[in-house]
Amino acid sequence: MRKPFGRRSDQAKLSPTEAARQGRAVRIAIDQLGSTAAMDFLNSFDPALEGRPIDLAVESDHGLAAVQALLATREAI
């Protein structure tokens, strides 16, 4: 019998390296933009990055660097 509130994710779990990049991107975005604006930024398509910042940051060190560079150009809260 399946647990009614168990995890049912079809997505693969993040590797430790991917999780570290995700955490770093989230911390930097929150520090720069505040929590609500950071979540909006990270989870919305960004034309300058041609993708969702959180996806790019998790995908590679290059993607994380691109997200960091874009955040550096944004006004701090």
Residue 20 located in a structural domain: yes
Residue 38 located in a structural domain: yes
Overall number of domains in the chain? 1
Residue 22 located in a structural domain: yes
Residue 7 located in a structural domain: no
> Residue 29: how many CB atoms within 10 A of its CB?
25
Could you tell me the pTM of the whole model? 0.81
Q: What angle do CA 60, 63, 67 make, to 5 degrees?
A: 140
Residue 10 located in a structural domain: no
Instruction: Grade residue 12 by pLDDT with cuts at 50, 70 and 90.
Output: confident
Q: What's phi and psi for 4, nearest 5 deg?
A: -65, -25
Residue 6 located in a structural domain: no
Full residue range of the structural domain in which residue 54 is found: 16-73
User: Which residue in the block uniquely carries the two structure tokens 């560079």?
Assistant: 69
Q: pLDDT tens, 40-72?
A: 999 999 999 999 999 999 999 999 999 999 999
